[in-house]
A and B are shown apart, each in its own frame.
Chain A
């Protein structure tokens, strides 16, 4: 059945939706738009949708992707226009294109993600570009950076250093801006909040009121999954 790849932004109230909420919201928007999503078989059929990567609750996504499988052929531009009218506040369609038959799912293509974090230093602590750069350099110089992760059964230690591909920091007045490229997808995911936690514990950089954007989803070799 025909598949349409959609690029969308998720921010405002929509960034507080969980992944299941986002799926349900797309499903209903499709139905309102008169598009017929294809459903899985079985006891609890659900629409066939493949997201590149679930966006963690609270994070903004500048350019997220989903493949929608539809029951009938429809021009991608029409699908985009119809959905744009039906999505609630905070979900914005950026583009759409058909996915060629046999094209590999988005999730499998994902290898890295790019993030931008803005916030202020806790307790009004003074950080200038010089000090930031030095702290980040020292942090990146470590062979291992362990964080504790909650798992189903308890907690376990995980070295996130290999998953941090790049990390930069600078100031803009009172605001601190961090950009990072982290491993994402099947090969292992490092989350930006883990990096922030490690920075606080290991480099004394404590960011508060942080706003996080996932700015790009990239393949393993660092290309945008889809440049639309």
Chain B
């Protein structure tokens, strides 16, 4: 156990670094054949709010032959002290250096955490570049949504896991265990890993560029490497383990509550949404199982709040009976329900009424775009009438505040669409007045984020809107959205710009990333630490123009840097969706059995799963 006690009084939030939470698993080090450190490249409070961590922690620690411990990015104060005293990055459970583990597994949730990955490797005393790692050093792997374009990190990762890891992670552990037993060297291990479906070994692929520095060709450079790496998907979620004894953080974290995953995937088909594409198809969990799991989780955590999680929870087939049952069972035990609402219809308000007896918070809706034309482009199937009717229902049910989420810079957006945001917010405000919400308490908050094109979506070919233009449109809204009852929120688009550079970036960006880290970039997702000046310097130093990446419009025939990585949804479908978008045509939800032909189900041999028993019987 590393001695860090003397540092803790000197840092902010020392509880981040001590572990010992309820349900933490501390296994016998010497009895686990394969030791995995789950590395979350952000601080404790963010990482501990992540369901994927809880799932993998449970999956791996349930195995006899393996253990998993956690490690998070230290805040700058702790990092400073660790560097001063030469204390290496350590795991929370047994407080051992991460380099003592066999596998260091990062999750990539957000492009702006990439610099933290490098920083954590360095703090761990692990060479940044995969090519420099020697025998006996941990295997550095990564998964998560950003792993679907891991190219900017290609030089730093030994292997990448695409898709859902419940089954695949076990296979990875098996391969490592066998390789060690057989005395196979690092290169041999990577070859064996490349055979595991869903595993991508970047060093086994050669990327050729043309004279303009654009990807010309990606070819396997090792016979073990498949032409394309296809994501893993769990066919039936009821078959795989779910953590009903999750870690309960002792100190406050971002989402501090019990989580029930009601389904995975989303079939609404919003064209900007990466999660909606890469987590297909929709697979619902059995409602009876969910009720059992809710009971176990609450009993094993003591949480007073239960969140029903998914990409679009109100779409769950049995949502109404499920919510009714949960309310009936737990209201007396003071368990609140949290239900992220994405639907804009009366049903959403109805559900919100069920779970919120006291209307203390606001309701949130995400029309995403200000005009019907643009909502058709992005395939967000919400009409203005829907929104206004929903708002009316919400005000009549007693809510006083409504939050509206929009994106600026969507493909084909014009000033008319931007003005549409203002008009929509004002119409919602007018509905509030009409329904008699007291003037002083009625409030409509409009939040705008900036659209970032993502790999594996129909908008992957589209550019990020010019920064200057984003700022002008923000400023326009800021001027317009003033007055009684109106609140306007926006973010500085610089961070979104960097996100756009990396979301569709290629391997050459690794040099810029490394340079930025050397110059001091870290915790870029935190406003107080994000330094755009330093990133500009880094790009200049390595001779790359970030604008070339962010503002690039790809042609359909271009080789995409992530073209060899297969998320299941076919490129032809994405292109078709892109064309439909530009034509203003919408595409239906495939959940109801009307397959819209994205190609995923036949390619991965899965199908959407909607439970047979949608009515939860009275026996419960």
Contact = CB atoms under 8 A, between A and B. Distances in A.
Interface of A: 12-14, 16-18, 20-21, 24-25, 27-32, 36, 39, 43, 45, 57-58, 86-90, 209
Given A12-B20, A13-B20, A17-B250, A58 B8 contact: yes
Contact of B302 (A17, A18, A32): A32
Contacts of A27: 302, 304
Interface stretch (B11-19, B65-73, B155-163): B11-19
Interface of B: 6, 8-9, 14-15, 18-22, 24, 248, 250-252, 298-304, 333-334, 358, 360
Given A28-B248, A28-B302, A30-B302, A16 B8 contact: yes
A25 B252 CA distance: 10
B9 A21 contact: no
Nearest to A43: B360
B301 A28 contact: yes
A17 B6 contact: no
Contacts of B24: 88-89
Contacts of B14: 16, 57-58
Q: Is the interface of B mostly helix, strand, loop or mixed?
A: loop
B250 A88 contact: yes
A45 B334 contact: yes
Contacts of B248: 28, 88
B10 to A, nearest CB: 10
A200 B303 CA distance: 45
A43 B358 contact: yes
Contacts of A28: 22, 248, 301-304
Given A18-B251, A28-B303, A29-B22, 10 more contacts: A12-B18, A21-B251, A21-B252, A25-B250, A28-B301, A28-B304, A86-B302, A88-B248, A89-B24, A209-B6
Contacts of B358: 43
Contacts, number: 72
B250 A31 contact: no
Contacts of A39: 334
Contact of A31 (B8, B21, B251, B304): B304
A117 to B, nearest CB: 12
B250 A14 contact: yes
A31 B334 CA distance: 10
Contacts of B360: 43
A45 B301 CA distance: 19
Contacts of B6: 209
A39 B304 CA distance: 12
A18 B250 CA distance: 9
Nearest to A33: B302
B553 to A, nearest CB: 50
A31 B20 contact: no
Nearest to A91: B250
A28 B358 CA distance: 23
Contacts of A45: 334
A157 B8 CA distance: 28
Contacts of B8: 16, 58
Contacts of A21: 15, 250-252
Nearest to B5: A211
Nearest to A90: B20
Q: 6 shortest A-B CB distances, which residue pairs?
A: A28-B302, A13-B20, A89-B20, A31-B302, A13-B18, A32-B302
Contacts of B22: 25, 28-29, 32, 86-88
Contacts of B304: 27-28, 31
29 contacts: A13-B18, A14-B250, A16-B8, A16-B14, A16-B251, A17-B250, A17-B251, A21-B15, A21-B250, A21-B252, A25-B250, A27-B302, A28-B22, A28-B303, A29-B302, A31-B303, A32-B22, A36-B333, A43-B358, A43-B360, A58-B14, A86-B22, A86-B302, A88-B20, A88-B21, A88-B22, A88-B248, A89-B19, A90-B20
Contacts of A24: 250, 252
Nearest to A13: B20
Contacts of A16: 8, 14-15, 18, 251
A145 B14 CA distance: 31
B20 A58 contact: no
Contacts of A89: 19-20, 24
A13 B19 contact: yes
B188 to A, nearest CB: 40
B70 to A, nearest CB: 14
A215 B251 CA distance: 24
B306 to A, nearest CB: 12
Contact of A32 (B19, B251, B300): B300
A17 B8 CA distance: 12
A40 B8 CA distance: 34
Nearest to B8: A16
Nearest to B10: A58
A32 B250 CA distance: 14
Nearest to B249: A21
Nearest to A31: B302
A12 B9 CA distance: 13
A173 to B, nearest CB: 18
A132 B334 CA distance: 56
A28, A36, A45 interface centre (most CB from chain B within 10 Å): A28
B15 A58 contact: no
A186 to B, nearest CB: 27
Contacts of B300: 32
A200 B334 CA distance: 50
Nearest to A20: B252
Contacts of B252: 20-21, 24
Contacts of B334: 39, 45
A25 B303 CA distance: 10
Contacts of A20: 252
A77 to B, nearest CB: 21
A32 B302 CA distance: 5
A26 to B, nearest CB: 10
A25 B256 CA distance: 12
